[in-house]
Amino acid sequence: MRRTLSAVVALLSSTALLVTLTGCLATTDEAAGWREDARVAAGDTHSQLMTVRLVLVERDGLLGRYDATVVRDAEEAVGTASDDLAKSQPPRALRPTYDRLTTLLDDAGSLVAEARTAVGERDTSRYADLVRRIERLAPRVERMEKELRG
C-alpha cells in the first residue's frame, strides 16, 4: 500500500514538474516569439521612417510621382507592421513594452501619413519640419528594436 502511495506521489510530482516545466517553456517560447514579432515590426517601421526622411531630403532628386509612390508604399508598410503586431497577444510581463511600442508605431503611422499628404500636395514648406520630427522619432523606434533584440 505504502509502495503504491509512493508511486502515485512520484507520478503526480513528476507530472506536476513536467507541467510546470512545459508551462515555463511555453511561456518562454511565447515571450520570445512575441519579442521577435515586435522587433520585426519596430525594424520595419524604422526602415520606412528613414525611407520617408530620405525622400523628403532628396526632394529635388526625384522625378514625377516617384516620391509620392515611395511614401505611399512606406505608409502601407508601417500600417501592415502595426496591424500584424496588433493581432498578436503580448505575454502579460511584456504588456508595458507592447504599450510603448504601439504608441511609437501609431506616432510613426501618423507622421508618415502627414508626409504622404505633404508630398502629394507638393507642400515643400512642410518638409523640413517633417524631417526634424522623423529624426526625433526614428531613434526611439530604433532603440526599441535594439531593446527587443535583447
Residues forming the site for other proteins (CB under 8 A): 36, 40, 43-44, 46-48, 50-51, 53-55, 58, 60-66, 68-70, 72-73, 77, 138, 142, 149
Taking the complex as a whole, the smallest distance from the CB of residue 99 to other proteins amounts, in Å, to 24
Radius of gyration of the chain (CA): 23
- Residue 65 or residue 95: which is nearer to other proteins going by CB? 65
Cell, residue 18 = 513536467
d(CA 113, CA 90): 27
- Residue 29 or residue 99: which is nearer to other proteins going by CB? 29
Taking the complex as a whole, the smallest distance from the CB of residue 6 to other proteins amounts, in Å, to 45
Taking the complex as a whole, the smallest distance from the CB of residue 128 to other proteins amounts, in Å, to 18
d(CA 74, CA 134): 13
- The string of DSSP letters for 54-123 reads HHHHTGGG--TTHHHHHHHHHHHHHHHHHHHHHHSPPPGGGHHHHHHHHHHHHHHHHHHHHHHHHHHTT-
- Residue 31 or residue 40: which is nearer to other proteins going by CB? 40
Taking the complex as a whole, the smallest distance from the CB of residue 39 to other proteins amounts, in Å, to 9
- Residue 72 or residue 126: which is nearer to other proteins going by CB? 72
Taking the complex as a whole, the smallest distance from the CB of residue 17 to other proteins amounts, in Å, to 30
Cell, residue 82 = 502595426
- Residue 5 or residue 63: which is nearer to other proteins going by CB? 63
